[in-house]
A = this chain, B = another copy of it.
Amino acid sequence: MHRRPAVSTLRPGGRVGEGRPDTAWSGCHALVHAQENARLHTYENRVKESFDAIVPVLKQISAIQHDADFAIRAQRMARERLGFALPEVLLDDAWIEQLDMRNLFAWSVFETYRRFCDEAIMHAPLGNNDGMEFQEFLRQCGFHKLDVSPCSDGRLAHVIRYVLRLPYRFVRRRSYAGAMFDVEDSLEKWVRTELIRFREGRPNTADEPTRYLKTVVYHYSSVDPDHQGCAAHGSDTVRAMQCGVDRLRGFQQAVENTYCCGASIDKLLLGMDTDTDSIRIHMPDDNGGVSPENYIDSLELYDATLHMSATAAERWIVDRVNEKGGTVLPAGMARFMVYLLTNNLSQLEYVRRYHGGHYEDIGHSERFIGAGIGFEEVQLRNLTFFSYMNTVEEAAADLDVGIRIFTSLNVSHGLPIPVVVRFDYHGDVPGARERAGQRCGRVTDALHGRYRELTDRGLLHTLRVIRNIDAADSIEILGSSVKTTATMMGVHG
Q: How far is the CB of A383 from chain B (nearest CB, A)?
A: 27
- Is there a chain B Cβ closer than 8 Å to A331's Cβ? no
Are B250 and A430 closer than 8 Å at their CB atoms? yes
The chain B residue with its CB closest to the CB of A260 is B200
A97 at the interface (CB under 8 A from B): no
From residue A395, how far is it (CB to closest CB) to chain B in Å?
10
CB neighbours (8 Å) of A431 from chain B are 183, 250, 253-254
A432 within 8 A of B: yes
A43-51, A186-194, A216-224 - interface stretch: A186-194
Q: Is the CB of B198 within 8 A of A198?
A: yes
Quick one: which of B194, B196, B253 contacts A199, CB cutoff 8 A? B194
In the complex with contacts A393-B446, A431-B250, A198-B206 CB distance below 8 A: yes
Enumerate A302-343 residues with CB–CB distance to B below 8 Å. none
Nearest residue, chain B, Cβ from A246 = B431
CB of A226 within 8 A of chain B? no
Q: Mark A165-207, 1 if CB is under 8 A from B, else 0.
A: 0000000000000000001100010011011101110000010
Interface residues in A, total, Cβ within 8 A: 36
Say yes or no: is A426 at the interface (Cβ < 8 Å to chain B): yes
Complex Cα gap A341–B431 (Å)? 33
| Measured CA separation A409–B16 after assembly (Å) | 78
Q: Which residues of B contact A250 (CB under 8 A)?
A: 430-431
Q: Taking CB as reference atom, which chain B residue is nearest A247?
A: B431
B206 contacts A435, C-beta separation under 8 Å: no
Q: Which residues on the B side are within 8 Å of A435 (C-beta)?
A: 183-184
As a 0/1 sequence over residues 419 to 441 of chain A, the CB contacts with chain B under 8 angstroms (1 = contact) are 00000001011111001000000
Inter-chain contact A200/B253, CB cutoff 8 Å: no
Docked-complex contact B258 and A429, CB < 8 angstroms: yes
In the complex, A64 has a CB within 8 A of chain B:
no
Closest chain B CB from A288 CB (angstroms)? 14
A258 partner residues in chain B, CB cutoff 8 A: 426, 428-429
Contacts known (A253-B429, A430-B250); A259 close to B199, Cβ less than 8 A? yes
**Most chain B C-beta atoms within 10 Å of own C-beta, residue among A254, A258, A263, A429:** A429
Taking a contact as CB atoms closer than 8 A, the residue among B257, B261, B390 that contacts A430 in the complex is B257
A198 touches B200 (CB 8 A): no
**Among candidates B257, B261, B442, residue contacting A200 with C-beta atoms closer than 8 Å:** B261
Q: Which residues of the partner chain B approach A429 to less than 8 Å between Cβ atoms?
A: 253-254, 257-258
Q: Is A474's CB within 8 Å of the partner chain B?
A: no
Minimum CB distance partner of A199 in chain B: B261
Residues from chain B with Cβ under 8 Å of A257 in the complex = 426, 428-430
Whether a CB of chain B sits under 8 angstroms from the CB of A281 is no
A392 within 8 A of B: yes
Closest chain-B Cβ to A86's Cβ sits at a distance in Å of 34
Question: Would A199 and B199 be within 8 Å (CB), given that A393-B392, A426-B258, A431-B250 are in contact?
Answer: no
B200 x A191 contact (CB < 8 A)? no
Smallest CB-CB separation from A196: which chain B residue? B259
In the assembled complex, A391 has its CB within 8 A of some CB on chain B: yes
Instruction: Judge if A394 is at the interface, Cβ distance under 8 Å.
Output: yes
A191 near B195: Cβ-Cβ < 8 Å: yes
Task: Encode contact with B along A442-472: 1 for CB under 8 Å, 0 otherwise.
Answer: 1100100000000000000000000000000
Bound CA span A206–B261, Å = 16
* Cα–Cα distance between A261 and B394 once the two chains are bound (Å): 35
Q: Are A254 and B199 in contact (CB under 8 A)?
A: no
Q: Give bound CA distance, A263 to B196, whole Å.
A: 11
| Chain B residues within an 8 Å CB radius of A394 | 390-391, 442
Q: Across the interface, name the chain B residue whose C-beta is closest to A394.
A: B391
Contacts of A200 in B (CB 8 A): 259-261
A250-301 contacts to B, CB under 8 A, are 250, 253-254, 257-261, 263
B393, A442: Cβ atoms under 8 Å? yes
Please indicate the chain B residues that have their CB under 8 angstroms from the CB of A446 in the complex: 393
Counting from the closest, the 9 A-B pairs by CB-CB distance are: A198-B198, A391-B393, A393-B393, A257-B428, A391-B391, A253-B430, A195-B195, A257-B429, A250-B431
Ordered by A's residue number, 23 sampled pairs between the chains whose C-beta atoms are within 8 Å are A183-B435, A184-B435, A188-B188, A191-B191, A191-B192, A191-B195, A198-B206, A199-B259, A199-B260, A200-B260, A250-B431, A253-B431, A254-B429, A254-B430, A257-B426, A257-B428, A257-B430, A258-B426, A391-B394, A392-B393, A393-B393, A393-B446, A394-B442
